[in-house]
């Protein structure tokens, strides 16, 4: 019998934004900034983040060429190794619909040093993609992928396609499908899949794409979150995750509730400003990256005064918590 595929650890993963150099008037688009990508990855590793997702939706994989994607993953892997983090958990996003191209991305990532592929549900045709069709597509990918894969369900970028709990139950039986990321607000789906007695939860991990769901889903069996806000306020999310995963949460209930509140409030910033907001926050908080760069159509920074307004509305409490950790 074949050995079980490696399963990602429980904890907090960060969907890292992709860093770009300043735009040059003579170039078609800004160049990828691998040194800044490495510096950010090392910062996250030192902050206690469990692992990193490169080139997901936040990472704008669709805006990079095949060579750029491979170079970025390989560069981060080498940079983490050099910084004393060999074998650090890396997922890489696959955001395409064709089977051949999906496997091409996965093979490239395997060679570059990623341990898992986070594979977006094929949603070009929207509701025409039946649950049986989704299951068949993922099985064909997993049968041939050189690295284990996770199902990535983000209805907001896949014409509303939603992978239903019964489909996860079937896909979880595949030895090379080791988990899922649900980037939607249906907490019931998270809980159903996390507690499904027909799923071997040691070999299939459930992650949410939203840190504001961390407490509610992890307390009911989920493995963790793949959370954008942890890209710039990692310590608070890590602390909350540690407390929620602890065997005894009774004595820390008040702290769990406090931390979940400040995390949930701060997550409103991402809901309002998206990828551009995440990049601006990373720059403002860590000093990494540049403002007013990127690749069309999401080039630029927040409007003048918007960062200061958002800090006062959403981020003050988490800034204070982060400083205390």
Helix-strand-coil split of the chain, %, nearest 5: 50, 10, 40
Residue partners of 267: CB distance under 8 A and separation at least 6: 210, 211, 212, 227, 229
Q: What is the pLDDT of residue 3?
A: 60
What are 4's strand-pairing partners?
A: none
Q: Give the H/E segment covering residue 152.
A: strand 149-153
Residue 181 CA to residue 166 CA, distance in Å, equals 15
Confidence of residue 1 (pLDDT cuts 50, 70, 90): very low
Q: How many residues does this entry show for the chain?
A: 325
- The predicted-structure confidence for 2-24, as pLDDT tens digits, reads as follows 566 899 999 999 999 999 999 98
pLDDT in tens, 246-305: 988 888 999 999 999 999 999 999 999 999 999 999 999 999 999 888 999 998 899 999
Summarize the confidence of residues 71-98 as an average pLDDT. Answer: 98
Read off the tokens for 72: 């970025």
Structure tokens at 201: 């939860």
From residue 319, give the alpha-carbon distance in Å to each of 143, 224, 302.
45, 22, 19
Mean pLDDT of 146-171: 97
- Note the pLDDT of residue 145: 98
Distances in whole angstroms, Cα of residue 167 to Cα of each of 103, 133, 153, 180: 21, 10, 12, 11
**Cα–Cα distance for residue pair 161/259, rounded to 1 Å:** 32
pLDDT recorded at residue 32:
97
Q: Is the pLDDT of residue 198 over 60?
A: yes
- Over residues 78-89, the pLDDT tens digits come to 999 999 999 999
Q: Please name the helix (run of DSSP H) or strand (run of DSSP E) that holds residue 75, with its range, or none.
A: helix 66-82
- pLDDT value for 141: 98
Is 181 a catalytic site residue? yes
Provide the H-helix boundaries in 98-249. 99-112, 131-144, 165-171, 187-195, 214-218, 234-245
pLDDT tens digits, residue range 42-66? 999 999 999 999 999 999 999 999 9
What is the average pLDDT value for the chain, to the nearest integer?
96
pLDDT of residue 5: 81
Rounded Cα distance, 20 and 14, in Å: 18
Cα(114)–Cα(288) distance, integer angstroms: 23
Q: Find the catalytic residue in 10, 46, 170, 181.
A: 181
pLDDT of residue 106: 98
Q: What pLDDT is attached to residue 115?
A: 98
């Amino acid at each position: 019998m074949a050995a079980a595929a490696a399963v990602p650890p429980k904890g907090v993963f960060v969907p890292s934004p992709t860093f770009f150099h300043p735009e040059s008037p003579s170039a078609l688009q800004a160049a990828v900034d691998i040194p800044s990508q490495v510096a950010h990855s090392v910062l996250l590793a030192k902050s206690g983040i469990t692992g990193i997702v490169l080139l997901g939706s936040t990472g704008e994989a669709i805006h990079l060429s095949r060579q750029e994607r491979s170079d970025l993953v390989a560069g981060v892997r080498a940079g983490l190794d050099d910084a004393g983090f060999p074998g650090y958990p890396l997922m890489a996003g696959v955001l395409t619909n064709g089977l051949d191209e999906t496997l091409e991305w996965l093979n490239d990532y395997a060679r570059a040093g990623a341990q898992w592929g986070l594979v977006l549900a094929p949603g070009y045709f929207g509701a025409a993609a039946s649950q049986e069709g989704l299951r068949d597509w993922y099985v064909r990918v997993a049968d041939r992928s050189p690295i284990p894969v996770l199902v990535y369900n983000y209805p907001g970028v896949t014409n509303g396609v939603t992978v239903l709990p019964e489909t996860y139950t079937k896909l979880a039986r595949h030895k090379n499908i080791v988990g899922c990321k649900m980037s939607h607000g249906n907490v019931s789906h998270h809980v159903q899949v996390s507690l499904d007695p027909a799923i071997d939860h040691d070999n299939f991990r459930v992650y949410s794409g939203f840190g504001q769901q961390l407490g509610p889903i992890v307390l009911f069996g989920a493995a963790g979150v793949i959370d954008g806000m942890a890209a710039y306020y990692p310590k608070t999310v890590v602390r909350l995750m540690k407390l929620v995963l602890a065997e005894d949460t009774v004595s820390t209930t008040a702290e769990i509730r406090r931390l979940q509140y400040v995390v949930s409030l701060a997550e409103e910033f991402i809901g309002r400003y998206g990828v551009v907001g995440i990049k601006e926050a990373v720059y403002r908080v860590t000093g990494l990256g540049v403002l007013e760069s990127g690749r069309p159509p999401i080039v630029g920074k927040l409007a003048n005064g918007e960062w200061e307004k958002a800090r006062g509305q959403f981020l003050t409490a988490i800034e204070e918590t982060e400083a205390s950790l």
